Structure 1
Amino acid sequence: MCEPGVQGMYPLPLEASMVNLTLRFVNCCRAADLRVSTAEVLDVVRQLAIVDPFDEFQFYTVLRTNFAKSHRDQDRFDRLYNLFFHEMQNDLTGAEVTPESQGFDEVVARLAEEMEADGDAMRQAILDFMAGKPLDYLDLINKLHTQEEQASTGLKSNMTQLSSRLEVMLKINQMKEKVLQFLGGNHAVVDDSVRASIEEEFTRRLESAYDILTKEPKTKNSGLKTVAHNEEHYDEIGQVPFSSLSDDEIEEVRDVIRQLVKKLEEIATLRYSVAKKGEIDVKKTLRRAGKYLGIPIEIIRKDKPLRKGKIVVLCDVSGSVWSTARFMLNILYALQECFSKVKSFIFVSELAEVTDHFIEKEVNDAIEAIMKDAPINYYAQTDYGMAFQTFKNDHLQDLDKKTTLIIIGDARSNYQNPQDHILRQLRDKCRRIIWLNPEQEKQWTEGDSEMYTYKAHCHEVRACGNLNQLVDFIQELVL
């Protein structure tokens, strides 16, 4: 972008140039999965008409204010803005014609002629990216990052996405070789005096394309709630990890849970019975008090009762995770009167709904039954990405803005594709996502754990591997 007050030569009137540039940038944002509505584009055009679009700070501020609608969008917007307006050198003033720019354009034109009959959309997208038009390449990379793995009953791998990345990487290397061929030897199409600077510019743009391919954008999640400490509700049994409980300790934990459920039901029942009578409507009460010299003699109450939330639970039932999940399900279904609806799914790699088990059987019997009767392979390798993909394809309608999605699992996916973009889509559909991990936080960066990948899309994450941690969470959820 140019300095404030700089005047240039415009092939189109200023207003048309500004609109065209903005629309090109909007298309790149949408290709990179940054959602921009038509109304927001119209707002930007109107606002740019009353500021100086040649002052980059004003121009950038108008675009960022309208297009980056949350903290989660701001980093992505900044990357796209820097790519489009700085690395690709798109601006409103027009570029100065130099021997270097002429040579650069000549090489791009020769490459385009050679590839004209090729019909390779991927190579064409890379060439367009080098020419300063990143739209098709950004769309290609976004589709690659969100590519779903194919379900397989045999040996599982995450090669679907990896092979696609490798193909793009090879195309970039081939393009680099072609560029060097046109710049050097007997086939050189530019003068020796500008060859070095042109080669440097091509290298910079190809490295930028490579970085976009290999460095997946990390979502900023400044609103994430983490719980590092918990109250010691129970001295001894409360600190024992669920995975280490003996048979006698399991019965003791169940007794504690029954007492806790009874207590929470009484508190919740009282709260909702008071709510049905109506909370005090402060505004109407103060307005009515005007008839009595400001004294609130008549108390006006609201008719609307407190709203009960919906719960959807995804439980990893592999290994030590199940020792936590069974107690969590026990409490949730014992307290289901506190929620408008509770739906449960279990998975290892395949996913199955088990809500009916809790409707037809007593809670503890249902928990035992789902470990035997659910239509999943309990001995498969854990694959969170495939489980999320199945849930999105078959059960996305179960989520709405009244739903809390609770995921119980250690996020260990055996180095399979985590498909965290699906979790981002689930976040957009529901009220909040809470992840309960039976492992302690210091283990979340070890081995095949994808916890730090997934937590970027959660509203709350917490360790939940013993009774004290579970009681803390349930009290916050219900009360």
Structure 2
Amino acid sequence: MSTGGVPIDLVLRKPRPARPELVVLCDVSGSVAGFSHFTLLLVDALRQQFSRVRVFAFIDTTDEVTHLFGPDADLAVAIQRITREAGVYTRDGHSDYGNAFVSFTEQFHNVLSPRSSLLVLGDGRTNYRDPATDVLAHMVTASRHAHWLNPEPKHLWNSGDSAVSRYQEVITMHECRSAKQLAAVIDQLLPV
């Protein structure tokens, strides 16, 4: 009894927070193509901050495109290949967020978990189709964090075929038109 019968106070290190998984769901339709490409480049640059990054693209249906963004991939070529090779549309080639969310949950139902952060990229313009907010709500609930980056100026949200106000009821939406705004959102996804 080297401590003379006095209990020892163990001092343990604080556990390091686990690196989250990132799930990116990206609208690659014509109206947001430039923003999507910029954001995918940034997400690729942030790979080391996440334990796993999975990228899904959609126009009216969803397909996984993670394999196009491997460590040695030419990102410009990968982005071009999405619209040529990925199964991102099955109908008329116009955005259909509702159908894209449904196809995501049907095909990739095990992707979202309490360890994952969901990042939706798009303008929320549904072409007057069903926005499937109930499906998005399920996706948000299945994730630890969920954020939506919208490249449109806020004053255009909810105009025309935009379903932004309905989506804002279930997910935190951010206007994201600059690298500074994007960095602020990514900061929220990273562990403290």
With the shorter chain as reference, the TM-score category is 0.7 to 0.9
1:445 matched to which residue of 2?
158
1:472 matched to which residue of 2?
184
Match of 1:402 among 90, 115, 120: 115
Match of 1:436 among 149, 155, 158: 149
Aligned residue identity for 1:334: A
2:3 matched to which residue of 1?
none
2:60 matched to which residue of 1?
349
The 5 Å alignment of 1:73-472 reads 288=9, 300-302=11-13, 304-359=15-70, 361-377=73-89, 380-458=93-171, 460-472=172-184
Cα distance per residue 1:212-269 (max 9 Å; x no partner): xxxxxxxxxxxxxxxxxxxxxxxxxxxxxxxxxxxxxxxxxxxxxxxxxxxxxxxxxx
- Distance in 1, matches of 2:89 and 2:168, equals 27
- Distance in 1, matches of 2:127 and 2:113, equals 31
The offset of 1:365, in angstroms, is: 3.0
- Distance in 1, matches of 2:15 and 2:34, equals 40
- Distance in 1, matches of 2:46 and 2:150, equals 21
- Using the aligned pairs only, state the percent identity: 32
- Between 1 and 2, higher relative CO (CA 8 Å, sep ≥ 6) is seen in 2
1:217 matched to which residue of 2?
none
Point out where structure 2 has 5 or more consecutive residues left out of the alignment: 1-7
- Distance in 1, matches of 2:21 and 2:55, equals 11
The offset of 1:349, in angstroms, is: 0.4
- Whether the 8 Å CA contact 1:324–1:464 is kept in 2: the answer is no
The offset of 1:328, in angstroms, is: 1.2
- The alignment yields a C-alpha RMSD, in angstroms, of 2.0
The offset of 1:320, in angstroms, is: 3.1
Cα distance per residue 1:374-423 (max 9 Å; x no partner): 12339612100000000111112001001111100111001001111111
- Whether the 8 Å CA contact 1:334–1:363 is kept in 2: the answer is no
- Whether the 8 Å CA contact 1:310–1:341 is kept in 2: the answer is yes
The offset of 1:455, in angstroms, is: 1.0
SS in 2 for 1:461: strand
Aligned residue identity for 2:55: S
CA gap 1:386/1:401 in 2 versus in 1, 3 angstroms: same
Cα distance per residue 1:436-470 (max 9 Å; x no partner): 00112221121110011011111x21001223322
SS in 2 for 1:300: coil
Which has the higher Rg, Structure 1 or Structure 2? 1
The structure whose residues are more often helix, as a share, is 1
The structure whose residues are more often strand, as a share, is 2
The offset of 1:473, in angstroms, is: 2.3
- Distance in 2, matches of 1:432 and 1:445, equals 24
SS in 2 for 1:398: coil
Aligned residue identity for 1:436: L
The offset of 1:304, in angstroms, is: 3.1
SS in 1 for 2:60: coil
**TM-score, scaled relative to structure 1:** 0.36
- Distance in 2, matches of 1:397 and 1:311, equals 14
- Whether the 8 Å CA contact 2:117–2:189 is kept in 1: the answer is no
- Distance in 2, matches of 1:471 and 1:425, equals 26
- Distance in 1, matches of 2:88 and 2:140, equals 25
The 5 Å alignment of 1:31-42 reads none
1:232 matched to which residue of 2?
none
- Distance in 2, matches of 1:334 and 1:374, equals 22
- Distance in 1, matches of 2:73 and 2:83, equals 14
